[in-house]
Amino acid sequence: MSPTVAAVVPTFRPDGAHLLSVVTGLMQESVPCLVVDDASPCTFDRALASVAAEGVGVVRHQRNKGIARSLNEGLRFAASLGAEWLLTVDQDSSLPPGHAAALVEAVVMAEDNLGDGQVSAVAAGVISDASGALGYPTIMRKGLPITEEVIQTGTLWRVDALSATGGFDERLGIDAVDAAACLALRSAGRVILLVPDRSLGHRLGNSAQIRILGRVVVSSGHSPERRETIIRNRLRLFPAEFRQSPRHALRTLRRTAVATALAVSIEDDRWAKARGALRGLRPAGPKG
C-alpha cells in the first residue's frame, strides 16, 4: 500500500542532533523520509551518517545550488512511492506530534466543501519563531481559511498538482521558492489551506519582531547576499503575482520594502546590506 505522505528534509550544514530529532519524529509517524544535502562540507559527514544509520535515504550533492533542487528531489521521491502528498521540512524546524496526519485530516474535511483535489497545499496556521508567533493573511472561502502564500517548511504539497506546475523553481535558488510554488498552484486554480489550530517551530533567520504604527513587522537579520536574492526574486515574481492577485502582490512588495528598510537602518552590517539591496534591484539575467 502506498504511503499517503512522504517527506523531504533539505540540509546545509545541519545541526546533527536536531536533524536526527526531525527525522525520528517523521519515522514515528510512519512517514517515509529523504534527506537531501546541498553540498555541506565534509565536517558534516557525521551528522548525515547518523540519519542514514536510522534507515533514512540521504542524497549528497557536491555543488551548492539552493533549496529548490533538494525539494524537487523530494517531489520525485514522493512520486516514486506513489504518495499523494509531499511534506517539506527545514532542518531547523520542529514539528508537533501527528503533524502530517492532522494536515491530511484537514484536507479531507475541507474538500467536502471545496471539491476533491482543490486543496494543493496545506500548512499550519502559526509559525513559532524565537521572536514570537507569526501568522498568514487569511481569506475565508466556504467557511474555510485559505491564504495565498505559505513558507515551505511543515507544508504538505499535493504531488500531482505540484508536479503538473513544474515543481519548485530551481532558478530561484533559495529565496521565494515557496512563493513561486504557491503562485503556480493558485494560477492553476488550486487552493492553499491553513489549519489555524496547528503551529510549528521554525527559525526565520536572526529575526526580531518590531511594532511600527501599530503593525508588527519582522526584522529578519538576513545576510547581504540573502537580502540581494530576496529582492531580486520578489521583483521577478511581481508581474505574475500582480496578474494573479494585485492585493497579495502589493502586500508582498510592501513587506519586502519594510524588511529592507529595517535591514539598512537597524540591523548589523547595514552598509553591506544596503549594497546587497541595490544589487537586487538590478534586472535579473535571462532565465533558464
Q: Which residues pair with 132 in a beta bridge?
A: 129
* Residue range 141-187, pLDDT digits in tens: 999 999 999 999 999 999 999 999 999 999 998 999 999 999 999 99
Is 50 exceeded by the pLDDT of residue 288?
no
- What whole-number distance in Å separates Cα of residue 123 and Cα of residue 181? 14
Domain 5-201, CATH number (from 3.40.50.300, 3.90.550.60, 3.40.50.970, 3.40.109.10): 3.90.550.60
Q: Residue 74 in 3-state DSSP?
A: helix
With beta carbons less than 8 A apart as the criterion, state whether 235 and 281 touch. yes
* pLDDT band at 267; cut points 50, 70, 90: confident
* Residue range 180-196, pLDDT digits in tens: 999 999 999 999 999 99
> DSSP string spanning 169-209?
-TTSTTTTHHHHHHHHHHHTT-EEEEEEEEEEE---TT-EE
- C-alpha cell at position 133: 508567533
* pLDDT band at 287; cut points 50, 70, 90: very low
* Environment class of 27 (CB within 10 Å of its CB; exposed 0-12, middle 13-18, buried 19+): middle
With beta carbons less than 8 A apart as the criterion, state whether 247 and 190 touch. no
* Domain-wise residue ranges, the chain: 5-201, 208-281
- What whole-number distance in Å separates Cα of residue 273 and Cα of residue 77? 37
Instruction: Report pTM.
Output: 0.92
- C-alpha cell at position 5: 505522505
Is 60 exceeded by the pLDDT of residue 286?
no
Measuring CA to CA, how many Å separate 27 from each of 21, 83, 219? Answer: 10, 15, 34
